[in-house]
Each structure stands twice: as structure tokens, then as C-alpha cells.
């Protein structure tokens, strides 16, 4: 089968023929229809410092996908041939304290699909049945392909109650945009989003934010004034991983404000801890999705009319992966999809 492979410890990817994966007793074999390109895939493509220490070659990339079940192992009972499925890309150990308690998203020995083992940028992927999410309600294929990052957005956005609250989101990449749509849908009063790309801020306006602020030429405090906020933001969702974004967020929170952080900083940086203490701010780190509570929430949010269409801006056949990766890495658009049937 064709697969997108990091075959050597150097920048770039190769589209090559690899053996089809074997199906174990608890596994599901999935014919991949569409995949989403994630920031993680860009790091692996570029072979940056993180990739060099995290990845062992050869590796089939990819963890955001939708596909169709074409085979199941003998122990799989509740998943059927022809089911349309996505997959939870965090494979958990099942043995640690959190796994045993049912808090699988807090597993301390997680292996990532397309990071620690072969992934979904291929014509077929095999996954443990316990990690397969069956789309019981029809979902647009492009949206189904990005359930993994959509789950990051939902997990982050629904970490704290949003109804009637003023929400600040730093970073209008695909996950920031989806979080903005969720916050809107969930009943936030104001949703303010920041970025440095006018294209991404335009996409944010399409998902219905109150204010999309370019922090190259405006300050978050200007945004607060424009919306008539007197006491600061109630909830912050940090999606950029950038020091100045978190520092600025902390400076603009109300007393008792709550911050959920999904953006992954590349290095350590100073934080005004005195402000955290005296403003009594809560900081929560987010990684992945709750299994499978977040997946349930995603499905019902879409059923309830949440619209993610503006977030998907690039569609390519898998043979055009170089163009697709360049599009995703540009920092200007939304989500980029690879079609594995074209
Ligand atoms: Zn575990």
C-alpha cells in the first residue's frame, strides 16, 4: 500500500510502498478515506529538534483520519465492516493508576499514533478496537477526518463553564478557530481571538467571534475596551504556545479567571506568578481528548448545528502531499485535508 513515510533521519517525507498492516485479535483494519495534517506532522516533516528526539525512523505519519472498516479481529464484537470511523490517536497503557480508574486521557505511558507507532497517512491503518470511534450519525467526511484536533478544541473549550462568560482565545490556527466556534455555540457572551495572520482572523470572523484582534498592531486591553469589558476575561484558552500570548492573557484575566492551555511552548519562559496568586487564577494543561467523553461531546455538538466548514481551507490528493504540507505550514489558512481515494 502507499504510505507517507519518514524513512530517514533528515527533513522531508517519502510517498512509498509499505506492507499492509496485520490485524491482531483486538484490532480493526481501516481503509483510510481522508486525513488531516497536524502541527505534529509538520514538525516531523521539518525534522526539528522535537522530532529528532521523539521519532524513530522509519515511521508512517498521521493521526487525524476518517476511514471505513474493512476487517476486524476475532475479539472485536461491536464494530462492523463498512462502519465509518475515526480514531483516538493516544494509545494508553491500561495499567497505570489513571487508566485503571477510567481516566485514560491522564495515562502516563501514552503512545501516539503516527508518532510512537505507524500512523494513518496510508491507504490502510490498523487500530485497537478500544481506540476506534464509530460515527453513528452521518458526519461530513472532511469534518470526520479532523475529529482528533476538533477533540483538542472541545476538550480545551469545555474545560470550564462558558455560559455568559467573556472568553479570550490566543491563536487562531485550526484548533483555536474550532474552540472559538465551540465557545460561541456553548453560550459564551463574548469570544475574542488573537493572531498575527489577517487570513486566520478573517476565518475567525466566519465562525462568529465577537472580535478578531491582530496583536501585531493592537493590544488585548484595546479589545477589552472596544467590547466594554470592565473587569477582564473570565476564561482564557491558550492555543499558540507563545510566551507573549500567555503573558498577555494572564495580564488581561479577571480575578478568579480560568485558563486552559493547549498550545505547546517550545521553551521555558517567565510568567508573572504574583499575578496568578493575587488574581487567584486557575491554570490547567490540556493534552489530547477525554476518552470518550470528548468524542461524545463532538458528535452531539455537530448534531446540534455547530458548523466547522469555515475551518477547512485546503484539500489535496495524497500524491500532492508536498503542496499540502507547505499550505499547512504557511500559518495563514485553516485545516488542510489529504484525500487518500483520489
Ligand atoms: Zn495508563
Catalytic choice (43, 90, 135, 155): 43
pLDDT at 196: 97
135 is catalytic: no
Residues 11 and 131 occupy one common structural domain: yes
Query: How large is the greatest C-alpha to C-alpha distance in the chain, in angstroms?
Result: 61
294 belongs to a structural domain: no
- Which of 40, 72, 170, 313 is catalytic? The answer is 40
Q: Measured in angstroms, how far is the CA atom of residue 108 from the centroid of ligand 1?
A: 5
Contact 107, 92 (CB under 8 A): yes
> Does residue 303 fall inside a structural domain?
no
DSSP E strand stretches across the chain: 2-6, 14-17, 27-36, 59-60, 64-72, 84-87, 90-91, 111-112, 124-128, 132-134, 166-170, 190-195, 211-214, 233-238, 253-261, 282-285, 312-317, 335-339
* Predicted pLDDT at 226: 95
Same domain, 140 and 157: no
Q: What is the pLDDT along the chain (342 residues), one digit of tens a residue?
A: 999 999 999 999 999 999 999 999 999 999 999 999 999 999 999 999 999 999 999 999 999 999 999 999 999 999 999 999 999 999 999 999 999 999 999 999 999 999 999 999 999 999 999 999 999 999 999 999 999 999 999 999 999 999 999 999 999 999 999 999 999 999 999 999 999 999 999 999 999 999 999 999 999 999 999 999 999 999 999 999 999 999 999 999 999 999 999 999 989 999 999 999 999 999 999 999 999 999 999 999 999 999 999 999 999 999 999 999 999 999 999 999 999 997
90 classed as catalytic: no
- Is residue 302 a part of any domain in this protein? no
Give a yes or no: residue 249 inside a domain.
yes
Q: Which residue has the cell 484536533?
A: 149
Q: What is the pLDDT of residue 337?
A: 98
In terms of domains, do 126 and 189 share one?
A: no
C-alpha cell at 311: 475551518
> pLDDT value at position 199?
97
Same domain, 93 and 204: no
Is 64 annotated in a binding site? The answer is yes
288-318 exposure pattern, b = at least 16 Cβ within 10 A, e = fewer: bbbbbebbebbbebbeeebebebbbbbbbeb
Do residues 130 and 220 both lie within one domain?
no
H helical segments located in the chain: 39-46, 49-54, 97-100, 141-145, 147-157, 174-185, 198-206, 220-227, 243-251, 273-278, 293-303, 321-329
What lies within 8 Å, CB to CB, of 65 at 6+ separation is 30, 32, 33, 34, 35, 36, 86, 87, 120, 125, 145, 148
User: How many structural domains comprise the chain?
Assistant: 2
Distance 229 CA to ligand 1 centre (A): 43
Does 32 fall in a domain? Answer: yes
Note whether 260 and 140 are same-domain residues.
no
Distance in angstroms (rounded) separating the CA atoms of residues 218 and 195: 10
Tally Cβ neighbours within 10 Å of residue 1.
16
262 is in an annotated binding site: yes
| 208 annotated as belonging to a binding site for a ligand | no
User: What domain range is 211 assigned to?
Assistant: 153-285
Q: Does any domain span residue 298? A: no
Q: Tell me, what's the pLDDT at 266?
A: 87
Judge whether 276 and 300 are in contact, CB under 8 Å.
Answer: no
Distance from the alpha carbon of residue 101 to the mean position of ligand 1, in angstroms: 9
Per DSSP, 309 falls in state G
Q: What is the pLDDT of residue 342?
A: 79
Query: Closest by alpha carbon to 215, among 176, 179, 258, 264?
Result: 176
Same domain for 194 and 99, yes or no, is: no
Is there a binding annotation on residue 250? no
Instruction: Quickly tell me which residue has 508536498 as its cell.
Output: 322
Distance CA 177, CA 279 (A): 28
Same domain, 270 and 142: no
This prediction's pTM:
0.96
111 Cα: distance to centroid of ligand 1 (angstroms): 10
On whether both 99 and 116 belong to a single domain, the answer is yes
Amino acid at each position: 500500500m502507499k504510505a507517507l513515510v519518514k524513512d530517514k533521519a533528515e527533513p522531508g517525507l517519502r510517498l512509498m510502498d509499505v506492507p499492509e498492516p496485520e490485524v491482531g485479535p483486538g484490532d480493526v483494519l481501516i481503509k483510510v478515506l481522508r486525513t488531516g495534517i497536524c502541527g505534529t506532522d509538520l514538525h516531523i516533516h521539518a525534522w526539528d529538534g522535537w522530532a529528532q528526539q521523539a521519532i524513530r525512523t522509519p515511521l508512517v505519519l498521521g493521526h487525524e483520519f476518517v476511514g471505513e472498516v474493512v476487517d476486524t479481529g476475532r475479539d472485536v464484537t461491536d464494530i462492523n465492516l463498512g462502519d465509518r470511523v475515526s480514531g483516538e490517536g493516544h494509545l494508553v497503557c491500561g495499567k497505570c493508576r489513571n487508566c485503571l480508574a477510567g481516566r485514560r486521557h491522564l495515562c502516563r505511558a501514552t503512545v501516539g499514533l503516527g508518532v510512537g507507532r505507524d500512523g494513518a497517512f496510508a491507504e490502510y491503518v490498523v487500530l485497537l478496537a478500544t481506540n476506534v470511534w464509530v460515527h453513528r450519525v452521518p458526519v461530513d467526511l472532511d469534518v470526520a477526518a479532523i475529529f482528533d484536533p476538533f477533540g483538542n478544541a472541545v476538550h480545551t473549550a469545555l474545560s470550564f463553564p462558558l455560559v455568559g462568560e467573556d472568553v479570550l482565545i490566543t491563536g487562531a490556527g485550526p484548533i483555536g478557530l474550532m474552540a472559538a466556534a465551540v465557545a460561541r455555540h456553548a453560550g459564551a457572551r463574548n469570544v475574542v481571538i488573537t493572531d498575527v495572520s489577517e487570513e486566520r482572523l478573517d476565518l475567525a470572523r466566519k465562525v462568529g467571534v465577537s472580535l478578531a484582534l491582530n496583536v501585531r498592531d493592537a493590544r488585548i486591553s484595546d479589545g477589552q475596551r472596544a467590547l466594554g469589558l470592565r473587569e477582564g476575561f473570565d476564561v482564557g484558552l491558550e492555543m499558540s504556545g507563545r510566551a507573549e500570548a500567555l503573558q498577555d492573557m494572564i495580564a488581561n484575566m479577571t480575578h478568579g479567571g480560568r485558563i486552559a492551555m493547549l498550545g505547546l511552548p517550545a521553551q521555558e519562559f517567565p510568567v508573572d506568578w504574583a499575578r496568578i496568586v493575587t488574581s487567584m487564577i486557575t491554570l490547567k494543561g490540556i493534552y489530547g481528548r477525554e476518552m470518550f467523553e470528548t468524542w461524545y461531546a463532538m458528535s452531539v455538538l455537530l448534531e446540534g448545528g455547530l458548523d466547522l466548514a469555515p475551518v477547512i481551507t485546503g484539500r489535496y490528493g495524497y500524491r500532492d502531499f508536498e503542496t499540502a504540507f507547505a499550505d499547512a505550514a504557511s500559518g495563514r489558512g485553516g485545516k488542510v485535508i489529504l484525500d487518500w481515494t483520489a
